[in-house]
């Protein structure tokens, strides 16, 4: 069946029968469709279209690869179970949105992994794409399956299913992989030869080239001998200032989660929050040039007509050119009624001047992430803000006319006591009091607080990577406690499901054996585990027991500092020594300053951005 | 001219095969962005969240349906020749939405020629079991004018995608009817009539909005 025939069949027989058919139809403005190419890459996002199309890394790589005249990059997203069933019922393969080509006919399949709970969807896509689950059983004629993204810093749970992982930022290594595939194909080679070539690309980890051993608690560890590079070094873009950024972005035809112009103002973060994996694995902090970004937004607007521009980074107020950027953007945006937003801000670096600029076009809410309720615990996690700063930020944002405040907290953090949990409620009480106070001559609307309370999940390559995940019953207890003491007339409380967080912990800290449970769960029908309506705890229990894996052991057993961890063969450039020093400081309640404008904190990266 | 000059225009466009799987809300969103892409001096609503002022004048189209006669009213902040506005739109239309015409109209609020009825062409992948007879009977019960179409006419109407031949359409859909349903309180969704008779799980049905019937007096 040709792509055109498959397309007709899908459009006529399948799409009228599924929910949100726009997810599977393609044909968006600015999508890149190439009839011929020397190397074809299917970029796969193991979530629904609306989420995948909102991923910055995914769209960036899509357009970047398509800049190559000789390569084609097409997209594929995880089918919702209704679509999966329709495809299976008709024995139709999973296909790319650009040319309706089955995944099995591509040269390279590239998964973008940003969340552990999408792993069963990876298996769905491999299976429906006609590739088979296990890498070792794929024939030489099959495409090379690669994967990258945030989750690849602990690739082990997926190691049996993926041929090669790209550790770190994808732009450079993906280009090198495409080049290698081009040369191999021109010489008549296929999958084994491509794998052999890309083994030499820095940042590429091919699990089949490594030996496994048994570490502490019976965990599976990985070691390598030459020519396999050991450890595998994370790749990152050295010079970010004018690094590629697309300006003619695909316009999702159905409403994406982030349906707007997103611009990445910098990568990495200097704050050093100790629970935060992104804050460690994307170091060093590298800024893009403000004038480049302003020009980019103008182009993006011309090609899209989006009415909002969003400044993406791990902590926007840290951006050294922020005032200049906001001036340049509002000059363009204001007359066009385009709004500017800036999620994820640390209060200690947030100035009123910036708030005023953001308010120019559209009043939005204030989002703050104190993460912990007491100063003591905030010091432990290195979130260096005081109650007074939080209260001040909320007061000034209400004074400026913003009526919505969203606050993020975590429970289950290392060293947390009941006092810390009650501290969240006490802080909220002070905040609602401040927000409700009337200023002379000015009427305030009712304050609107949303409190999102998540469960701390220890992540690899952070100072808390050795810590256990807190028992689920204890987390439920803390949720009950908060519910009983917070006045919910003014505050909307939003809790994360501790069972789902526990699963995240298993996959985040897991080893290669977890992959067996993943396969069992997939076979039992687990899909979209990140969606509360889809996560099936019973099936997962069954899957773990069939695989002989005790999830409680994986979630709750601490790792011993100094021991080999399931991800010890991956080197993110941050030294274990630094992580241990940070851990010790955490336990003492000592903070570490941001490395912007301060002394180098010695994380181990050879970084010249803050000399 | 004062600052809040508002000049109303009406666009007619077709929503074709490749854009048929989006919902009405998504189509509205797409239209807002289209307006912005034209670079024309769009009139925006006031308030915290300014939006182009548009009014969608045809009945919302269901996902999966195609149409040749969608109409939207929008406003500009200055009087521009229709041809110039058309040129700007033609360059900005997304795949699957095809510009028919743009006219300067007298009022953004009042429709000068409100449609009285909506004509659909409805295509079926199977004509077995005397479907035609049963459809016509069901339509009569609902006061909807329906007739069986000759396939030459019917196939041309949905030759919407580049590369499709009328042979392909005729092979795919051997049978089609036209149905005119009154707009307003008596409006009956054509799929409601059809699905009384045909099980959409068994036969694939495609709905195509062929035209708006402006004045019933035309029939005289």
pLDDT tens for A261-302 read 999 999 999 999 999 999 999 999 999 999 999 999 999 999
Chain A residues near residue B23 by CB distance under 8 angstroms: 22, 254
The C-alpha atoms of residue A492 and residue A269 are separated, in whole angstroms, by 30
pLDDT tens-place string over residues A555-611: 999 999 989 999 999 999 999 999 999 999 999 999 999 988 878 889 998 776 544
Contact A336 B63 (CB under 8 A): no
Mutation pick from B24, B36, B47, B174 vs chain A, by most beta carbons of A within 10 Å, is B36
Q: Give the 3-state DSSP-derived string for chain B, with helices as H, strands as E and coil as C.
A: CCCCCCEEEEEEEEECHHHCCCCHHHHHHHHHHHHHHCCCCECECCCCCCCECEEECCCCCCCCCEEEEEEEEEEECCCCCHHHHHHHHHCCCCCCEEEEEEEECCCCCCCCCCCCEEEEEEEECCCCCCHHHHHHHHHHHCCCEEEECCHHHHHHHCCCCCCCCHHHHHHHCCEEEEEEEECCCCCCCHHHHHHHHCCCCCCCEEEEEEEEECCHHHHC
Burial (CB < 10 A; 0-12, 13-18, 19+), residue B220, is: exposed
User: Would you state the pLDDT for residue B168?
Assistant: 85
Q: Do A22 and B23 touch (CB under 8 A)?
A: yes
With CA atoms as reference, the chain B residue closest to A14 would be: B204
User: So what's the pLDDT on residue A149?
Assistant: 95
Q: A449: Cβ–Cβ under 8 A, 6 or more apart, which residues?
A: A405, A406, A407, A428, A431, A432, A435, A490, A491, A492
- A27, A253, A305: residue with CB nearest B36: A305
> How far is A99 from A27, CA to CA, in rounded Å?
9
Note the pLDDT of residue A599: 83
CATH code given to domain B7-104 = 3.30.70.580
Residues A305, B37: C-beta atoms closer than 8 Å: yes
**CA A559-A560-A561 angle, 5° bins:** 115
Most A CBs within 10 A among B95, B161, B199, B201, hence the mutation to make, goes to: B95
Reduced to 3 states (helix: H, G, I; strand: E, B; else coil), residue A459 is: coil
Measured at the CA of A590, the angle between CA A584 and CA A595, to 5 degrees, comes to 95
Round to whole Å and give the CA distance between A243 and B157. Answer: 48
* pLDDT score recorded for residue A585: 97
Instruction: Evaluate whether A506 touches A555 at the Cβ level (below 8 Å).
Output: yes
Residue spans of chain B under pLDDT 50:
1, 216-220
pLDDT category, A247, cuts 50, 70, 90?
Answer: very high
Give me the CATH topology for the region B117-219: Alpha-Beta Plaits (3.30.70)
Chain A nearest-CA residue for B93? A29
Predicted local confidence at residue A378, as pLDDT: 97
What pLDDT is attached to residue A356?
A: 61
Which residues of B touch chain A, with CB atoms under 8 Å apart?
17-19, 21-23, 25-26, 29-30, 32-37, 39, 44, 48-51, 63-64, 92, 94-96, 125, 163, 172, 200-201, 204
With CA atoms as reference, the chain A residue closest to B124 would be A12
- pLDDT at position A145 is 98
Contact criterion met (CB < 8 Å) for B39 and A302: yes
Disruptive mutation site among B22, B43, B163 for chain A (greatest number of A CBs within 10 Å) = B22
d(Cα A83, Cα A23) in Å, to the nearest integer?
10
Domains B7-104 and B117-219 share a fold: yes
Asked whether the beta carbons of residue A15 and residue B36 sit closer than 8 angstroms, the reply is: no
| Cβ neighbours of B51 in A, within 8 Å | 307, 337
Kindly state the average pLDDT of the residues A204-228: 92
Provide, rounded to the nearest whole percent, the portion of chain A with pLDDT above 70: 93
Which residue from A16, A29, A302 is facing B64, i.e. has the nearest CB? A16
Pick B204's closest partner by Cβ from A16, A251, A305: A16
Confidence band, pLDDT 50/70/90 cuts, at residue A62:
very high
Q: Do B21 and A13 touch (CB under 8 A)?
A: no
User: Which sequence spans correspond to the domains of chain B?
Assistant: 7-104, 117-219
| Position with higher pLDDT, B165 vs A544 | A544
Tell me the torsion sign for CA atoms A98, B205, A13, B158: negative
CA–CA separation, A352 vs A400, rounded Å? 9
Q: Examine the pLDDT at A441 and tell me if it is beyond 60.
A: no
Q: What's the N-to-C CA distance of chain B in angstroms?
A: 45
pLDDT at A442 > cutoff 50: no
Q: Which residues in chain A have their CB less than 8 angstroms from residue B201's CB?
A: 17
Rounded Cα distance, B184 and B193, in Å:
17
Instruction: Name every chain A residue with its beta carbon within 8 A of the beta carbon of B35.
Output: 305
User: Residue A351: its pLDDT value, please?
Assistant: 59
Please, which contacts does A48-52 make with residues 24 or more away whose CB atoms are closer than 8 Å? A48/A23, A48/A77, A48/A78, A48/A80, A48/A528, A49/A20, A49/A22, A49/A23, A49/A24, A49/A77, A49/A252, A49/A254, A49/A256, A50/A23, A50/A252, A50/A254, A50/A255, A50/A256, A50/A257, A51/A256, A51/A257, A52/A77, A52/A78, A52/A112
How far is Cα A601 from Cα A382, in angstroms, rounded to an integer?
13
A366: which strand partners? A405
pLDDT of A433 reads 85
The mean pLDDT of A382-411, rounded to a whole number, is 85
List of residues 6+ apart from A310 with CB closer than 8 A: A258, A260, A261, A262, A263, A340, A341, A342, A343
Work out the pLDDT band at A393, boundaries 50, 70, 90.
Answer: confident
CATH numbers and ranges of domains, chain A: 3-233 (3.40.50.280)
pLDDT on residue A352? 60
The whole-number pLDDT of residue A557 equals 95
A255 to chain B nearest CA, in Å?
Answer: 6
B50 closest CB neighbour out of A8, A29, A337: A337
Give the burial class of A443: count Cβ atoms within 10 A of its Cβ; 0-12 exposed, 13-18 middle, 19 or more buried: exposed
How many Cβ atoms are within 10 Å of A188's Cβ, its own excluded?
7
Selection from A214, A211, A161, A213 nearest residue A518 by Cα: A161
Alpha-carbon span B69 to B59, nearest angstrom: 10
pLDDT computed for residue A535 by the predictor: 94
Q: What is the pLDDT of residue A611?
A: 40
In angstroms, what CA-CA distances link A604 with A152, A170, A282, A575, B204? 20, 22, 13, 5, 63
């Amino acid at each position: 069946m040709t792509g055109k025939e498959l397309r007709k069949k899908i459009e006529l027989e399948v799409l009228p029968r599924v929910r949100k058919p726009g997810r599977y139809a393609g044909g968006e403005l600015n999508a890149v469709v190439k009839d011929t190419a020397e190397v074809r890459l299917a970029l796969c996002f193991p979530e629904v279209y609306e989420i995948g199309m909102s991923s910055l890394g995914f769209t960036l790589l899509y357009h970047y690869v398509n800049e190559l005249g000789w390569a084609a990059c097409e997209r594929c997203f995880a089918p919702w179970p209704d679509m999966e069933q329709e495809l299976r019922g008709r024995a139709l393969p999973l296909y790319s949105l650009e040319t309706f080509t089955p995944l099995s006919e591509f040269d390279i399949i590239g998964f973008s992994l940003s969340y552990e709970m999408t792993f069963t969807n990876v298996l769905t896509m491999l299976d429906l794409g006609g590739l088979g689950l296990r890498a070792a059983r794929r024939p030489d004629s099959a495409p090379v399956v690669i994967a990258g993204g945030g989750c690849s810093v602990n690739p082990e749970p997926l190691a049996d299913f993926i041929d090669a992982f790209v550790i770190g930022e994808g732009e450079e290594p993906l280009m090198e992989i495409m080049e290698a595939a081009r040369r191999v194909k021109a010489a008549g080679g296929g999958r084994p030869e491509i794998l052999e070539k890309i083994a030499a690309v820095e940042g590429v980890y091919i699990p089949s080239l490594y030996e496994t051993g048994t570490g502490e608690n019976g965990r599976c560890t990985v070691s390598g001998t030459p020519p396999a590079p050991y450890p595998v070094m994370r790749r990152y873009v050295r010079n970010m200032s004018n690094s590629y950024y697309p300006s003619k972005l695909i316009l999702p035809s159905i409403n994406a989660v982030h349906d707007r112009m997103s611009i990445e103002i910098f990568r990495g973060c200097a704050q050093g929050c100790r629970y935060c994996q992104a804050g460690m694995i994307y170091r060093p902090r590298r800024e893009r040039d403000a004038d480049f970004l302003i020009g980019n937004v103008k182009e993006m607007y011309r090609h899209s007509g989006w009415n909002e521009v969003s400044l993406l980074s791990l902590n926007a107020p840290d951006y050294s050119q922020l005032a200049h950027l906001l001036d340049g953007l509002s000059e363009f945006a204001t007359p066009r009624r385009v709004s500017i937003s800036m999620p994820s801000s640390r209060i200690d670096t947030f100035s009123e001047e910036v708030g005023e600029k953001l308010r120019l076009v559209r009043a939005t809410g204030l989002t703050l992430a104190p993460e912990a309720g007491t100063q003591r615990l905030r010091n432990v996690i290195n979130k260096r803000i005081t109650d007074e700063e939080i209260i001040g930020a909320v007061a000034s944002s209400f004074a400026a006319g913003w009526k919505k405040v969203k606050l993020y907290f975590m429970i289950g953090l290392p060293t947390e006591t009941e006092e810390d949990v009650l501290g969240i409620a006490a802080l909220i009480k002070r905040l609602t009091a401040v927000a409700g106070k009337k200023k002379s001559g000015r009427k305030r609307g009712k304050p609107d607080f949303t409190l999102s309370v998540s469960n701390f999940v220890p992540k690899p390559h952070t100072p808390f990577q050795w810590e256990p995940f807190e028992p689920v019953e204890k987390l439920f207890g803390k949720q009950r406690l908060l519910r009983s003491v917070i006045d919910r007339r003014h505050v909307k409380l939003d809790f994360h499901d501790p069972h789902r967080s526990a699963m995240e912990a298993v996959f985040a800290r897991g080893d290669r054996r977890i992959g067996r449970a993943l396969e069992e769960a997939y076979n039992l029908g687990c899909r979209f585990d990140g969606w509360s309506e889809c996560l099936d705890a019973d099936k997962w229990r069954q899957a773990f027991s069939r695989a002989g894996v005790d999830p409680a052991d994986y979630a709750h057993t601490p790792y011993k500092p100094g021991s080999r961890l399931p991800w010890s063969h991956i080197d993110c450039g941050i030294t274990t020594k630094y992580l241990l020093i940070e851990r010790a400081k955490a336990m003492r309640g000592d903070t570490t300053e941001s490395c912007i404008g301060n002394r180098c904190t010695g994380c181990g990266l050879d970084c010249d951005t803050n000399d | 001219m004062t600052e809040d000059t508002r000049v109303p225009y009406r666009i007619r466009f077709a929503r074709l095969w490749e854009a048929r799987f989006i919902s009405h809300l998504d189509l509205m969103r797409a239209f807002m962005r289209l307006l912005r892409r034209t670079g024309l001096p769009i009139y925006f609503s006031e308030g915290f969240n300014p939006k182009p002022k548009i009014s969608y004048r045809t009945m919302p189209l269901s996902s999966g349906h195609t149409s040749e006669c969608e109409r939207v009213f929008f406003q500009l902040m200055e009087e521009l020749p229709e041809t110039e506005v058309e040129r700007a739109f033609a360059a900005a239309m997304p795949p699957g939405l095809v510009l028919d015409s743009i006219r300067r109209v007298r009022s953004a609020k009042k429709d000068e020629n409100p449609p009285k009825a909506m004509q659909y062409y409805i295509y079926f992948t199977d004509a077995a079991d005397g479907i035609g007879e049963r459809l016509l009977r069901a339509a009569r019960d609902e006061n909807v004018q329906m007739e069986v179409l000759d396939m030459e006419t019917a196939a041309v109407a949905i030759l919407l995608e580049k590369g499709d031949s009328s042979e392909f359409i005729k092979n795919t859909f051997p049978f089609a009817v036209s149905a005119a349903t009154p707009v307003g309180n008596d409006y009956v969704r054509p799929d409601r009539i059809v699905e009384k008779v045909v099980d959409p799980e068994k036969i694939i049905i495609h709905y195509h909005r062929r035209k708006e019937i402006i004045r019933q007096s035309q029939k005289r």
